[in-house]
């Protein structure tokens, strides 16, 4: 158990819909990262937040957005969903050094029908 | 810019045989290097990391990796494969500042044959 929790574990929705994925980092970790893992694209970094502020952006689509709240939990919002958005979405957290070990949550499997 | 390549998307070894998973990186700054493992239906777990101290890094579950700057490599090895080692392995690189992103390689799937 990494100490990072993600909800829900599975999510099935239709094209055009909007969903919210939630992540709670390990106690004391200030950085939260979001990744998308799919068979064709592998593990792609989406976005990083540090103590409530956006710190780094990766291959995140404009239809996707994220935020980190004062209690340090984070949410990833995916809108206007397309079939190609079906993937595993991982959240990871690390301490304030940012490049130290990232602890991954179990992931949310999103299926868009 | 940084990138990671992992030679061989799939590697099969016999139980008890040497495991060698290859990783080469490209980095314009001194790198930190990581190996992560992903077991089926689970998130990624850190195996080991290089952060500019000793070039031979020992990790969990008997794995180790050697940083070779001249070859820009960070290959992962284990002397004797166990059935429980079957998983997906990811090599990753980052810079050494807190603003550097971690870039993951495409992964290598390891199968262990009894």
**Beta-strand relationship, A53-57 and A108-112:** unpaired
pLDDT, one tens digit per residue, over B11-37 is 999 999 999 999 999 988 888 999 999
Residue with the larger pLDDT of the pair B113 and A96: B113
Residue with the larger pLDDT of the pair A99 and A32: A32
| Cross-chain residue pair B43–A50, CB shorter than 8 Å | no
Q: What is the pLDDT of residue A97?
A: 59
For chain A, how many residues are written? 113
| Cross-chain residue pair A43–B97, CB shorter than 8 Å | no
Q: What is the pLDDT of residue B36?
A: 95
Extract the tokens encoding B65.
């990796």
Extract the tokens encoding A108.
């949310």
- Given phi > 0 = left and psi -120 to 50 = alpha, else beta, which region is B106? alpha
- Angstrom distance (rounded) from CA A1 to CA A105: 8
3-state secondary structure chain A: CCCCEEECCEEEECCCCCEEEEEECCCCCCEEEEEEEECCCEEEEEEEEECCEEEEECCCCCCEEEEECCCCCEEEEECCCCHHHCEEEEEEEECCCCCCCCEECCCEEEEEC
Residue A74, CB-side half-sphere exposure with 13 Å CA sphere? 31
- The beta-carbon neighbor of B46 closest among A45, A101, A107 is A101
> Is it the case that residue B48 has pLDDT exceeding 90?
yes
Q: Is A75 exposed, middle or buried (0-12, 13-18, 19+ CB in 10 A)?
A: middle
Q: What is the pLDDT of residue A65?
A: 96
> Is it the case that residue B51 has pLDDT exceeding 90?
no
Does any CB of chain A come closer than 8 Å to the CB of residue B32? yes
**Which residue of chain A has the CA closest to B96?**
A99
Contact A21, A78 (CB under 8 A): yes
Closest-CA distance, B81 to chain A, in angstroms, reads 24
For chain B, how many residues are written? 114
pLDDT, one tens digit per residue, over B77-111 is 999 999 999 999 999 998 777 667 788 999 999 99
- Which residues are CB-neighbours of A40 under 8 A, at least 6 positions away? none
Residue numbers of B between 57 and 76 with CB closer than 8 Å to A: none
| Cross-chain residue pair A102–B94, CB shorter than 8 Å | no
- Angstrom distance (rounded) from CA B91 to CA B6: 7
Does any CB of chain A come closer than 8 Å to the CB of residue B45? yes
Does any CB of chain A come closer than 8 Å to the CB of residue B97? yes
> Which residue, chain included where needed, has tokens 């070859």?
B71
**Which residue of chain B has the CA closest to A40?**
B106
| Cross-chain residue pair B103–A45, CB shorter than 8 Å | yes
pLDDT, one tens digit per residue, over A35-75 is 999 988 888 889 999 999 998 888 899 999 999 999 999 99
- Angstrom distance (rounded) from CA B74 to CA A87: 29
Please report, rounded to a whole number, the percentage of residues in chain A having pLDDT higher than 70: 96
> Is it the case that residue A99 has pLDDT exceeding 60?
no
């Amino acid at each position: 158990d990494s100490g990072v929790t993600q909800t829900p574990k599975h999510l099935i929705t239709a094209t055009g819909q909007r969903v919210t994925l939630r992540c709670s980092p390990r106690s004391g970790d200030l950085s939260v990262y979001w990744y998308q893992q799919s068979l064709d694209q592998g593990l792609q970094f989406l976005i990083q937040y540090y103590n409530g502020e956006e710190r780094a952006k990766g291959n995140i689509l404009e239809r996707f957005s994220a935020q980190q709240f004062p209690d340090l939990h984070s949410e990833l919002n995916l809108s206007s969903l397309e079939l190609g958005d079906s993937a595993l979405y991982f959240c990871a957290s690390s301490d304030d050094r940012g490049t130290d070990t990232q602890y991954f949550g179990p992931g949310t499997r999103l299926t868009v029908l | 810019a940084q990138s990671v390549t992992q030679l061989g998307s799939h590697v099969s070894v016999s139980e008890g045989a040497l495991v060698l998973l290859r990783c080469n990186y490209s980095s314009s700054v001194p790198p930190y290097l990581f190996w992560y493992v992903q077991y089926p239906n689970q998130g990624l777990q850190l195996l080991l990391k290089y952060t500019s101290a000793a070039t031979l890094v020992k990790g969990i579950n008997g794995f180790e990796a050697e940083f070779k700057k001249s070859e820009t490599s960070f290959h992962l090895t284990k002397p004797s494969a166990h059935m429980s080692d079957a998983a997906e392995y990811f090599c990753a690189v980052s810079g050494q500042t807190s603003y550097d992103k971690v870039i993951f390689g495409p992964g290598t799937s390891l199968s262990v044959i009894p």
